[in-house]
Amino acid sequence: MPITAERGYLIPAINSGSIDYEACAEQLATSIRTWHPEANITILTREMLPYGDLGGFANDWQCFAASPYRQTIKLEADMIATGPVDHWWTLFEHRDVVISQGCRDFYGQVSDCRSYRQLFDQNQLPDVYNAITYWRFSREAKEFFDLVRNIFENWAEFRTLLKFPDESATTDVVYAMAAVILGPELVTLPKGLGPQIVHMKRNIIPTLTDNWTNELIWENANPGLRIQTVAQSGFVHYHNKDWRMS
């Protein structure tokens, strides 16, 4: 896709099964515009994929070719912007690729829950979350996404490098392997420096059930979001794909 702007947010939204990722992406785009009315935002739908729908996570590497921006922040669709995030551009702009590391609970504290990250720990992979990924249109970023593509397409071979690998490749694991191959210092910021998603998964928060919206008090602060009275910042990964703020 031709470059049309210097900076912008790219939100992949390929509907699958019963999950309406496009609706999630619309909500995310609306929340970003609440804070940054002039922001460039592209929702990447199935028909916009340059190499067609390869199914699920395997589409991820196409984001590089699909982005119309010289600098892109890719965001997972099932998130919401709960505060300004444009200062991240200043943080990222000196790098070719930045994948976020670690996650926070809704109190803003870095999570020490490892129950969803055992594969990462057992294989000493960097604790990356592709939910927030930045890249600059560059040879290095292309190399990164070529490698991501290579790992997805040759998962049967790459998974033999891991202890207790998943049957199917997932984006976070593939990004982590690519980071190890290229050098984590080239594609991540030092821990604690870059942005981290607020992860609303059960063991992180911790709730008794998967659907946190049934247990926790959340408020649309208009603009913004409070959970258990605590004002959220950055991106909240709400996990429950049907949740809508209004």
Partner 1 sequence: MTRGVTIFAFNNEQIDYLAMAAWSAQNIRRHLELPVCVITDVDDPERTKAFDQVVVTESPVTKQHRYFYDFKQAAAWHNMNRSSVHDLSPWDHTLVLDADYVVASDQLNVLFDTNQDFLAHDRAIDASGYPPFNDNNRFGSYKIPMAWATVMCFRKGKTAQLIFDTMQMIRDHWEHYKQIYFIPEQTFRNDYALSIAMNIVDGHTLSMPAIPWPLMSLTSHAQITQLESDTYRIDYENTNTNGKVKWILLQNQDFHAMGKRSLGAIVANNS
Q: Is the dihedral of CA 166, 168, 171, 175 positive or negative?
A: positive
Residue 105 binding partner 1, by CB under 8 A: yes
Q: Which of 228, 240, 242, 244 binds partner 1 (CB under 8 A)?
A: 228
Task: Choose the binding region for partner 1 from 104-112, 167-175, 185-193, 238-246 (rule: CB under 8 A).
Answer: 104-112
Residue 207 binding partner 1, by CB under 8 A: yes
Q: Least distance to partner 1 from the beta carbon of 198, Å?
A: 12
**CB atoms closer than 10 angstroms to residue 242:** 13
Residue 229 binding partner 1, by CB under 8 A: yes
Nearer to partner 1, 52 or 206 (CB): 206
Residue 55 binding partner 1, by CB under 8 A: no
- Kindly state the number of chain residues that form the binding site for partner 1, as judged by CB under 8 A: 15
Exposed e or buried b for every residue in 19-28, given b needs 16+ CB within 10 A? eebbbbbbbb
Q: Least distance to partner 1 from the beta carbon of 83, Å?
A: 10
Backbone angles phi, psi at 60, to 5 degrees: -55, -45
Residue 18 binding partner 1, by CB under 8 A: no
Angle between helices 139-153 and 171-182 in degrees, nearest 10? 130
- How many Å is the Cα radius of gyration of the chain? 17
Residue 213 binding partner 1, by CB under 8 A: no
Q: 10, 103, 26: which is closest to 61 by C-alpha?
A: 10
Nearer to partner 1, 9 or 212 (CB): 212
Q: Exposed, middle or buried, 12 (CB in 10 Å: 0-12/13-18/19+)? A: buried
Residue 108 binding partner 1, by CB under 8 A: yes
Residue 216 binding partner 1, by CB under 8 A: yes
Binding residues for partner 1, per CB under 8 A? 105, 107-109, 205-207, 216-217, 226, 228-231, 233
